[in-house]
Amino acid sequence: MRMHRFVSSLLLAFLLTSSSVHGKVMPVEFDLGRNRLIAAMLRSQLSSQHFGHKPFDQKMSKEAYKLYLSQLDPKKQFLLTADVKNLDQFADKIDDEISNGRIALPDVGMKLLNKRVEKVAVLIREIMDAEFSPNKKDYLQTDPDKLTASVDRAELKDRWRRSLKMEVLDSYLDAVDKENKKRKKEGDSLLDAESKQINQEFWAEAMKKVRKKTDAYLERLLKVTRQEHYNRYFDAIARSFDPHTNYMAPTSKEDFDIHMSGSLEGIGALLREDDGHIKVVRVIPGSAAEAQGQLQAEDVIMSVSEKDGEIVDISSMSIREAVSYIRGPKGTEVRLTVTRADGARLVIPIVRDVVKLEETYVKSTVIKDEKGGKIGYVKIPSFYRDFSAGRLGRDGRNVTDDTRSELNKLKKKGINGIILDLRNNGGGSLSDAVNVSGLFLPGGPMVQVKNSQGVIRVLEDRDRGVVYDGPMIVLINQFAASASEIFAAAMQDYGRALVVGGAHTHGKGTVQALLDMNRNLPLLHLKKYDDLGALKVTIQKFYRVNGSSTNIRGLCRMWSCPVCWIIWKPASSTWITPSLGTG
């Protein structure tokens, strides 16, 4: 069975398209038949669709097992050597598990982890009750790659003792620092953070804070569902093909959608977990929650219901699960029961609407240099595009249109040059990488892509119009990836801009396509099972206009600029003479 491939290839650090932002996506209940179907589809699609056409064999199994184990206990804080040996029996059997539909590893892993988490909770109580010797020097290895699983209970306890001691010391020193800032303002004498005389009040508070934080962490681990363990297992299998191939569960798929479109349907409030409760951090400007007017920062959301529907207690839920109840289609009403800081309790009805996440969109401003010249600054957070709107026949918001708009605004302000900031831009839509490049170049090839058959296709900007042809600097760092690398490489290869910043970009030179696992399923399966999620799979490699690859090595900058605040002399051509400074 060939699965429907989303025709728009995506190039990204994070990427997804789905209509899920326009509906309510709830966590999926565990269903063994559904998971067997996902496993079978992964086997079929990964082998046939992935660029490398890797076989589903023992080599793949060993790599998938390694990735699975690293996410099960990433910091080597729980599993003992004996536990790992127990799991090692599955190292070369994942391919067989998937083929015969008898999946066991995620269940065995979950059972072992939960058992160890409960035992670690006892160890932590013992450690915290005994307290620490704050003045005794200790060594803590924080790199899990340099650690192996603890051999026994004693070694595990000592590992936790060192880790907890570091956290308590950090918390204590933070408290001392805050107190000293307060004393400095008031003109009082300062506390000596290096003194062997510990402030007992601050130390007790630090112990209490770390204990509470650690208990909450263990509680969250025990709440991870059986289905979530299976989702992580499936993702480990996908990532064994390459780091940018992933299995996405429905809720991850929704988050991905929101990242790409820069919008969601809900109330418009930023939430966080705080002491086991869901607390409002801030209300997003222009959102439904702001328009309604009652929801405030620091409100604790106790329960949620649809209009006249059943009340659901979310007070002890994870943030992901709680959000799934609060989000919902535009025009529907959700009722939040909240507790205020003063103890007041009230029910707030909010009609959901589209929430625009402005921080995901292109922004610009004008900076004046030391001689009064005007420099345009453009920040592109990602190469976003609302693909779901396109499928519904609407013009979705996208980075190309927004960049064009910001450039036109800057030109009207009489700028002498532009700084285009791609730092921390993880990528996005391949077509937009080409189109945004075309805003600065008079058409022509922008990037080359090669499929698994070796066929090379040159992607060109067919719009010969140039929006901005003046002096330009492109800022990069090691977190600029994918579409960012395509854009920066095109600017560099054509001599269009000076690329400055970190020594190199991230080094991702592959193209992914999104496979909706619900498409083209037999009607029997569609009716029987909940949403199956999506598979993001590497289908192509991309190459610069000059023929070189950015994969692994990344794009090297033309000029080192650690501070990345640039002032340049006026230029009569597109070549830029930089005058770098520190500030």
Q: What is the DSSP letter of 404?
A: H
Q: Looking at per-residue confidence, does 395 or 199 come out higher?
A: 199
pLDDT for 440 beyond 50: yes
Does the residue 2 lie in any domain? no
1-15, 35-49, 309-323: least confident range: 1-15
Tell me how far apart the alpha carbons of residues 374 and 413 are, in angstroms, rounded to a whole number.
Answer: 8
Q: What is the pTM of this model?
A: 0.83
For 111-167, what is each residue's pLDDT tens digit? 999 999 999 999 999 999 987 788 888 899 989 999 999 999 999 999 999 999 999
Q: What is the pLDDT of residue 512?
A: 92
Q: Are 338 and 363 in a shared domain?
A: no
pLDDT confidence of residue 507: 83
Q: Are residues 176 and 82 in the same domain?
A: yes
| The domain boundary residue, chosen from 328, 356, 384 | 356
Banded pLDDT at 105 (limits 50, 70, 90): very high
pLDDT score, position 391: 61
Q: Does residue 120 share a domain with residue 78? A: yes
What distance in Å separates the CA atoms of residue 235 and residue 227, rounded to the nearest whole number?
12
Could you tell me the residue range of the domain that residue 76 belongs to?
55-240
DSSP letters along 311-341, please? -EE-TTS-HHHHHHHH---TT-EEEEEEE-T
pLDDT at residue 267 in the model: 95
Q: Could you tell me if 350 and 368 lie in one domain?
A: no
Question: Is 1 part of any domain?
Answer: no
Domain identity same for 478 and 377: yes
pLDDT at residue 564 in the model: 37
**Which whole-number Å values give the CA distances from 270 to 217, 252, 297, in the listed order?**
21, 18, 9
| Residue 247 parent element (H or E) | strand 246-248
The predicted-structure confidence for 447-498, as pLDDT tens digits, reads as follows: 999 999 999 999 998 887 899 999 999 999 989 999 999 999 999 999 999 9
pLDDT for 19 beyond 70: no
| Structural domain includes residue 26 | no
pLDDT at 344 over 80: yes
Residue 66 lies in a domain: yes
pLDDT of residue 554: 59
Strand partners, 303: 313, 337
Residue 38 burial (CB count, 10 A): 24
Question: How far apart (Å, rounded) are the C-alpha atoms in residues 87 and 386?
Answer: 42
Instruction: Compare 330 and 554 and report the one with higher pLDDT.
Output: 330
pLDDT tens digits, 247-292: 999 989 888 888 888 888 999 999 998 877 899 999 998 899 999 9
pLDDT of residue 23: 52
Mean pLDDT value across residues 68-88: 97
Does residue 249 sit within a domain? no
Q: Do the domain assignments include residue 252?
A: no
DSSP state at residue 348: E
Q: Evaluate if residue 540 carries a pLDDT over 70.
A: yes
How high is the pLDDT of residue 582?
A: 16
Q: How many CB atoms lie within 10 A of CB 393?
A: 6
Contact 448, 457 (CB under 8 A): yes
Tokens 């400055």 appear where? 500
CA dist., res. 428 & res. 261, Å (int): 10
pLDDT at residue number 557: 53
Residue ending a domain, choose from 356, 375, 402: 356
The helix (H) or strand (E) run that includes residue 503 is none
| CATH code, 313 | 2.30.42.10
- The answer to whether 343 and 393 are in contact (CB under 8 A) is no
Whether 257 is covered by a domain: the verdict is no
Distance, CA of 547 to CA of 432 (rounded, Å): 20
Same domain? For 164 and 226 the reply is yes
pLDDT at 176 over 90: no
Note whether 376 and 336 are same-domain residues.
no
Kindly write down the DSSP assignment for every residue of 553-568, as one continuous string: T-PBPSEE-SS--EEE
**CA dist., res. 116 & res. 110, Å (int):** 10
* Rounded-to-integer distance, Cα 302 and Cα 340, Å: 11
**CA distances (Å), origin 300, targets 82, 210, 275, 295:** 43, 22, 11, 10
Q: Do 317 and 373 belong to one domain?
A: no
C-alpha–C-alpha distance, residues 45 and 512, integer Å: 13
**Which residues make beta-bridge pairs with 498?**
473
Work out the pLDDT band at 60, boundaries 50, 70, 90. Answer: very high
pLDDT at 578: 26
* Model confidence at 346: pLDDT above 50: yes
Q: Which tokens go with 562?
A: 């650690």
Q: CA–CA distance from 49 to each of 82, 459, 539 (Å)?
A: 38, 21, 7
Both 335 and 374 in a single domain?
no
- 515-534 per-position pLDDT tens digit: 999 886 765 555 678 889 99
Domain assignment present for residue 46? The answer is no
Strand, coil or helix: 73? coil
- For the cut 50, the answer to whether the pLDDT of residue 567 exceeds it is no
> Of 60-74, 236-250, 389-403, where does mean pLDDT reach its minimum?
389-403
pLDDT at 546: 85
Percent of the chain with pLDDT over 70: 87
The pLDDT tens digits for 305-321 are 998 889 999 887 888 88
Q: Specify the pLDDT at position 125.
A: 96
Residue with tokens 């959700």: 334
Same domain for 346 and 204, yes or no, is no
Number of structural domains in the chain: 3
Range with the poorest average pLDDT among 77-81, 319-323, 430-434: 319-323
Tell me, yes or no, whether 101 and 201 share the same domain.
yes
Question: What does the pLDDT read at residue 111?
Answer: 98
Q: Which two tokens mark 424?
A: 């921390």
Q: Which helix H or strand E contains 523, and what residues bound it? A: helix 523-528
Angle between helices 105-130 and 153-186 (to 10 degrees): 60
Q: Please state, in angstroms and rounded to a whole number, the distance separating the CA atoms of residues 109 and 69.
A: 9
Quick one: pLDDT band at residue 388, thresholds 50, 70, 90? confident
Please report the pLDDT score of residue 382 as a whole number.
95
CA distances from 553 to 111, 457, 503, 557 (A): 41, 22, 10, 12
Boundary (domain end) residue, out of 240, 272, 303: 240
For residue 316 the two structure tokens come to 């002890």
pLDDT, greater one: 398 or 443: 398
Q: What is the pLDDT of residue 24?
A: 63
Identify whether residues 333 and 363 lie together within a single domain: no
**DSSP letters spanning 179-217:** HHHHHHHHTPPPP-TT-SS--HHHHHHHHHHHHHHHHHH
Instruction: Say if CB 2 and CB 49 are below 8 A apart.
Output: no
Distance between CA atoms of residues 333 and 328, nearest Å: 9
Average pLDDT for the chain = 86
- The confidence score (pLDDT) of residue 536 equals 96
C-alpha to C-alpha distance for 106 and 94, rounded to whole angstroms: 11
Is the pLDDT at 375 greater than 80? The verdict is yes
